[in-house]
Structures are given as C-alpha cells and as structure tokens.
Structure 1
Amino acid sequence: MTLLQLKQRSLLGLKELDAEEIIAILDRAAHWEQQETKVQNVLQGKFAANMFFENSTRTRFSFEVAEKRLGAEVLNFSAAVSSVQKGESVYDTVRTLESMGIDVGIIRLKPIGLLAELATKIKVPLINAGDGNNEHPTQALLDLYTMRKQFGAIKGLTVSIIGDILHSRVARSNLYALQKLGATVKFCAPANLQASDLDARYVTMEEALKSDVVMMLRVQLERHESGMLSSAESYREQFGLTVERAATMPDHAIIMHPAPINRNVEIDDELVEHAKSRIFKQMEHGVPVRMAVIERALN
C-alpha cells in the first residue's frame, strides 16, 4: 500500500478531510445502521487492534462492537497491563503488532503529534480514537450523524459547544467538520478555558442556549485541584445546563454530550434522558459510524 493510499484510508483527524469525504462516511454509517442482521462478515479474516494508551470505556467498546459486527478478528491492548508500563515505547508497541499481521490499528494516546508521526512509519491504516487535546474524529462524526438524523441536514444549523474548550479534542473535531458542512459554531467557556487558536465566536451562556444544538462538554474535575476551576458548584451555576436554562432553549433544539457525564455539574441529572436529549442516541450512533470508518480503512 502506498503512503497516499494509507493516508486516504487512515483517519487521523477531521481537519484534513473535505466535506465530501465526511458526508461519504455519514452516508455509509446510515447504511450500516439500517442493516437488520447484526453481524456482517465483510471483514472476515481481517485483524483489528484496539491500542489504548489512555483509558477509555465507551470508545473502546464502541470500536470493538463495530469490528465484531463487521466480522473482523479483534485484539484488545491496554497500556495499563502491557510492556509500555515497563518502558516499551508506543512506536515499538505499534510496530510489534504490525509485524504480527494486524490490518488496522485503532489508537488512543496522550501526546499530541505522535499519531501523525506514527502514521508515516507504520504500514497499516491507523484510526484516531482520541489523541491528547488534538482531535477525536469518530466522536465528532457520530455527533454530526446525530445532528443530520435529527434535522435532515447540517448546513444552516447553529451549534453551541459549552465547557472546557481549551482542553477539548471533541470541540476541535466538531468545529472543523461542522464549519466544512456549513454550520455556524459558537463557543461558551470560562475565560481561562477558552482556546485562542480556534476560529469560533465566544458567546454568553444565554446566547449559547438559543442554538439548534447545545453540546455540553465534560468538566474535568481534576482541574479544580490545579485551580483552573473554583468548584463544581460554581461551574454549574455559571456554565451548567440546568433545568431552568434548558427551559429557555428553542422547542426544536436538542441537547448533546460526548460523555462521560458529570451529572449535576455540567448538566442536571434530569436532563440526561430528557425528551430534548440525544446523549444515549449519540452512543448508539457510534457503532455504525465506526463501522463505516473501519470499513473505509480496510476496503
């Protein structure tokens, strides 16, 4: 496989994909969602390795279900119980699995830039399952899929993303893709959690709630200890989606969240499964979206 073919099959981020490629993935995900037979052996005999150098529950299980529904053989690798703990480098680990004959690698890791570097050295397609504060492309794709299913199209939508923008790979991937598909993106965040490198307007909480989609980001509670956030209570008071705030949203608007959720911090408990919420639908859509991404990597 040439480097160009590898690049076209890999999914390192949405910043580098054009609108046509993004729509093709969403269309293929719609195909997979409509299949009544749970397991389709389109990737029989192919080996997929889930390489998680950073903890994950939902994303790893979602990829694993997607791989198994496509009929692939699945290898699960966790850094917590691997040679990485003994000092083996990420590159050596990925290279080892490549030499054993995997066909695709799904990778989550912390250091920004490392995945792009690995992609130039590894001869199998790589899929980004979240790299540091950089991108989380499959999360954004399932978010887009959820929005498109709800509204019929993404063009013309206004999407507000609220929370810790500075450290959010979800906000970045969503911003890149939504703008390419013709949506307007607004950010709302505490002053010290805004990202100056991203091209979107920051608005007040009141303004953010006027959008078609209100996407809440997880509060990383460990940031309280570093002093970046004063307390969970004050965050909820200023930037949380409370029942009272949700009542001011347009009737047609929906609530989204990439999960995991801190109930009663960034979003009130009773809103998680509210009629406006699409949070569990997002998780459901993650499987067909990841099936489309894995199939793209291997066909």
Structure 2
Amino acid sequence: MQTELERKWERCKPAHVLTVEDWSVSEIHSILDAAETLSHAPKQFSGRGLFAANLFFEPSTRTKISFEAAEKTLGLDVLPFEADTSSVKKGETLYDTVKTLESIGADVVVIRHSKERYFDELRDKINIPIINGGDGCGHHPTQSFLDLLTIKQEFGQFNGLNIVIAGDIFHSRVARSNLDVLERLGANVYVSGPKEWMSKELMSRYVTMDQAMEMADIMMLLRIQHERHAVKMVAGPGEYHKLYGLTAQREKKMKKHSIIMHPAPINRNVEIADELVECKRSRIFKQMKNGVFVRMAVLKHVLDQHKGGFFQ
C-alpha cells in the first residue's frame, strides 16, 4: 500500500526539472515535503549502479557542490566532467555532449549554462532526466525550492507573507523563478533596488529599501551580476550599499520576526553589511544546507520517474 508521500510523488509528473513554472503548487509542496523528510534521515536510500553527470559551463560553488553532495548521499556515482577540458573546447555542441553522456551511461544530467533556455533544444531529444542548474538570466528551479523550504521551515506557510526581493532583479534567474512561485503560493512579493534594473511590469511592485524595512517578513537580497551587464554600473560598491543595500542601520528597523535571505555568492558591504551575513536574522547558510536536501529530493524524484521507483 502506498504511503501519502508516495502518492504525492505520483502526482509529480515533470520528466525534467527545468523551470518552477512547469510545476503545480501541489507538486512543489510534494518536493518540499520530501526534502524535509530527507533532512531528518538523509542517508536512507541507495542509488548504487546509477550515474549522474554535472555539466557546469558557468562558475559555481554552492549549486555544483551541493548537487555532488546530494548525489553521493543518495549513493549515485558521479561522472567527472569539466567544460574546460572537454570536447566542448573542440566545438562539440551541447546536444552532442549530453547525448554522449547519455550513451556512456549517465542516468541524470545537471546542467548550468549561460544560454537562456538552453534546455529547449534538449528536452524532447534526450532520454534521461535533465535538471536545470541555472540558465543565463532565465531560471534556477532548485534554488527556488531551497528558498521555499527555508521559508516554510521558518513560517510554516506562505500565504500573506510580505517578501521583498532586492537588488539586480533584471539579470537574476533567482528573482525570475521566485517571483512567479512565491505569488502562486500566496505571498505578497515586492521588488527593490536600482529602477533601471526593473522591467516596466515590475514597477507596480516597487518599494524603496527604507519602505521594505517596515513591511518585509523576508528580505531576499541579490548580488550585482556584473558578468551579465553590458554596461558596468556607475555607482561604486560603497554608494550602492548606501542607496540600495541592507545596511546595519536599516536592519534595526526590520520587524522582530523578519529574516534575511541571499542565494549567494555574497558581496559583503555591497548588497548586505558584513556584520549581517551571520546575524540572528540571517538564514543564508541555512539556505545552503537546505540546498542539499532539496537536490536529493529532486534527484530522487526524477530517477524514480525514469527508473520506475528505483528508490522505493
């Protein structure tokens, strides 16, 4: 007889994990429930005989290493891949690279790529699950899931929470993923930061950083993504921090129960004051810890779908 958790898994149907927009609210809650369960007993499964490949064409610390930790905790063998020493340097296409790994025996691939929606050319041609580890300025689904898990652990639910996403909104795949999913879950989502980094559609959600301090239950800060800017910002780090950052003075005006989040890497004393990174409000390193459990849940889900309940 199936447990309730197993029945929830049955309702989670995406073959790949590419965007949070592909997932219904019930499917998202299923992933969060599974991640929470795994956080209490993370070594209960064995994936011996299965292979994972992590294809990172952009720099990464947290996402890449937490996927490796998740894979190894589940018992998967991780096939080594480094873009700088692969046949990509000889002109091999992304499709041919992924198809090669599938042919060699990879059972799941995690891909981070600078091209937005790189996965559109792969999703109907590759016969193993693809997990999006970030596509340009597009999407970062597992980051959204770990953010959601952190919020749910803190507040128990999402409905009615005031969440301010502050910083380089236009270039952030984290912001793009979270804006949609948080609103679908019932939160009130606002944005803050330089107005030139906002789309016209987002201006109706705009608040200043000083306004955000009085209303936010969650301050979700973003770094400046210099590598995606065609023109470098004019303001220096100190000026940006004063105008748009979470300063020590601003933090004192936050609600008693409010928390600080950040997907990292962190630019200390730019988007957030150095002394706030590990203050009592901060959940930044808790997010990183939750990233392993969420990625275990996602890997387990796609491999259960692909292998017919391998982990049951």
**TM-score normalized by the length of structure 1:** 0.93
Indicate how the Cα distance of structure 1 residues 140 and 239 shifts in structure 2: closer, same or farther if over 3 A, else same.
same
1:132/1:169 contact within 8 Å kept: yes
Q: Which amino acid aligns with 2:32?
A: L
Matches within 5 A, 1:133-144: 133-144=137-148
Matches within 5 A, 1:35-74: 35=41, 38-74=42-78
- Name the CA distance, whole Å, in 2 between partners of 1:199 and 1:29: 34
2:12/2:27 contact within 8 Å kept: no
Indicate how the Cα distance of structure 1 residues 51 and 7 shifts in structure 2: closer, same or farther if over 3 A, else same.
farther
Q: Does 1:98 align with 2:102?
A: yes
Q: Which runs of 5+ in 1 are unaligned?
A: none
Q: Which of 249, 269, 274 is residue 269 of structure 1 equivalent to? A: 274
Quote how far apart the aligned CAs of 1:189 are: 2.0
Superposed CA RMSD: 1.9
Q: Which residue in the other structure is 1:126 paired with?
A: 130
Quote how far apart the aligned CAs of 1:127 are: 0.4
2:165/2:192 contact within 8 Å kept: yes
- Name the CA distance, whole Å, in 1 between partners of 2:112 and 2:279: 31
Quote how far apart the aligned CAs of 1:205 are: 1.1
- Name the CA distance, whole Å, in 2 between partners of 1:8 and 1:243: 43
1:223/1:229 contact within 8 Å kept: no
**What is the DSSP-based 3-state SS (H/G/I as helix, E as strand, rest coil) of the residue aligned with 1:281?**
helix
Q: Which amino acid aligns with 1:101?
A: G
After superposition, the C-alpha distances for 1:230-287 in whole angstroms (9 at most, x for unaligned) are: 2112111111111001111000000000000011111011000000000000000000
**Aligned residue pairs: how many?**
293
- Name the CA distance, whole Å, in 2 between partners of 1:298 and 1:129: 16
Q: Which amino acid aligns with 1:248?
A: K
Indicate how the Cα distance of structure 1 residues 222 and 45 shifts in structure 2: closer, same or farther if over 3 A, else same.
closer
**What is the DSSP-based 3-state SS (H/G/I as helix, E as strand, rest coil) of the residue aligned with 1:285?**
helix
Quote how far apart the aligned CAs of 1:225 are: 8.5
2:12/2:30 contact within 8 Å kept: no
Indicate how the Cα distance of structure 1 residues 239 and 117 shifts in structure 2: closer, same or farther if over 3 A, else same.
same
Q: Does 1:281 align with 2:286?
A: yes
Quote how far apart the aligned CAs of 1:198 are: 5.3
- Name the CA distance, whole Å, in 2 between partners of 1:295 and 1:280: 23
Indicate how the Cα distance of structure 1 residues 199 and 188 shifts in structure 2: closer, same or farther if over 3 A, else same.
closer
Q: Which of 169, 177, 180 is residue 181 of structure 2 equivalent to? A: 177
After superposition, the C-alpha distances for 1:37-82 in whole angstroms (9 at most, x for unaligned) are: x533432211111111111111000000001111111113221221
Q: Which residue in the other structure is 2:27 paired with?
A: 21
Q: Which amino acid aligns with 1:123?
A: N
Identity of aligned residues (%): 51
Indicate how the Cα distance of structure 1 residues 265 and 188 shifts in structure 2: closer, same or farther if over 3 A, else same.
same
Q: Does 1:290 align with 2:301?
A: no
Q: Which residue in the other structure is 2:219 paired with?
A: 214
**What is the DSSP-based 3-state SS (H/G/I as helix, E as strand, rest coil) of the residue aligned with 1:74?**
strand
Q: Which of 224, 241, 246 is residue 241 of structure 1 equivalent to? A: 246
Q: Which residue in the other structure is 2:154 paired with?
A: 150
- Name the CA distance, whole Å, in 2 between partners of 1:223 and 1:84: 22
- Name the CA distance, whole Å, in 2 between partners of 1:225 and 1:110: 14
**What is the DSSP-based 3-state SS (H/G/I as helix, E as strand, rest coil) of the residue aligned with 1:284?**
helix
Q: Which residue in the other structure is 1:163 paired with?
A: 167
Indicate how the Cα distance of structure 1 residues 6 and 143 shifts in structure 2: closer, same or farther if over 3 A, else same.
closer
Q: Which residue in the other structure is 2:37 paired with?
A: 31
**What is the DSSP-based 3-state SS (H/G/I as helix, E as strand, rest coil) of the residue aligned with 1:261?**
coil
Q: Which residue in the other structure is 2:80 paired with?
A: 76
Q: Which amino acid aligns with 2:35?
A: A
**TM-score normalized by the length of structure 2:** 0.89
- Name the CA distance, whole Å, in 2 between partners of 1:227 and 1:276: 31
